[in-house]
Amino acid sequence: MAPEGALVRAPESPASARTLIELDGVEKVYRNGKLEYAALRRIDLSISTGEMVAIVGPSGSGKSTIINMVTGIDRPTAGTVTVGGERIDQMSEEQLASWRGENVGIVFQFFQLLPTLTALENAVLPLDFSHRGSKHERFERAARNLELVGLGDKLDHLPSELSGGEQQRVAIARSLACDPKLIVGDEPTGNLDTHTAAEMFEVLAELNAEGKTVLYVTHDLSLAERAHRVVTIRDGLVAGG
């Protein structure tokens, strides 16, 4: 882990990397009775393996909807979503849950830690759900992930005993449980102060430097500009990037 205050820059995006994420003509329409709201309007977006991509845009522009498409949390009304060569828009809910557990680590704005579990117990949850390895092996892996994000000395701390930045580090460690190829953040620094947000970005940048693809939504343009590429969404359309 980089020393506090150090600037960790994302590496240059590989020019010839293969495509990991492909959204082709993706539309998403939400319906409430006779009312319709088009959150996405024929989005075409490609992200290569090893890239770090920031998604920016005004509130309600469709940023989080794109994240939901990529992670299979939501389905397109039209168009296709391909991740790692697999059409996730065609998967059943059971298939999606299994695929997501194997391939995607998700970091949310509001941590979503279980308050009665320690940092280690929270970080091990995805491994418990997927029944990977023995109990001892699962806890060893979770402990390594917490060490990776700088919390090796706080394994037995409850969320209430951790700062906001430390809680988000636990959330990142939890997202790494199954060694996913893709880390997705929906405003992962939005609930943190500027200094702590910068520290969180350094963790994501280091994971990207180690080969993981990182895709994140942010309102912080200074953090967005440190990505390989900034994709601007406006009124459900790609306006740049």
Let me know if residue 7 belongs to a domain.
no
Asked if the structure places residue 33 within a domain, the reply is yes
Q: Does 13 fall in a domain?
A: no
- pTM value is 0.84
Q: Is residue 2 situated within a structural domain?
A: no
Q: Is residue 12, in this structure, part of any structural domain at all?
A: no
Residue 9, in any domain of the structure: no
CA distances from 186 to 78, 84, 115, 181 (A): 23, 20, 21, 17
DSSP state of 167: H
What is the reported pLDDT for 7? 37
Whether 10 maps to a domain, the answer reads no
Q: Which residues of the chain have pLDDT under 50?
A: 1-16
Q: Is residue 167 part of a domain?
A: yes
Contacting residues for 31 by C-beta, under 8 A, at least 6 apart: 37
User: Tell me, what CATH number does 46's domain have?
Assistant: 3.40.50.300
How many structural domains are present in the chain?
1
Tokens of residue 162, six digits: 């951790």
The residues facing 100 across adjacent strands are none
Q: Which domain holds residue 121?
A: 19-240
Task: Kindly report, residue by residue over 68-111, the tens digit of the pLDDT.
Answer: 999 999 999 999 999 999 999 999 999 998 899 889 999 988 88
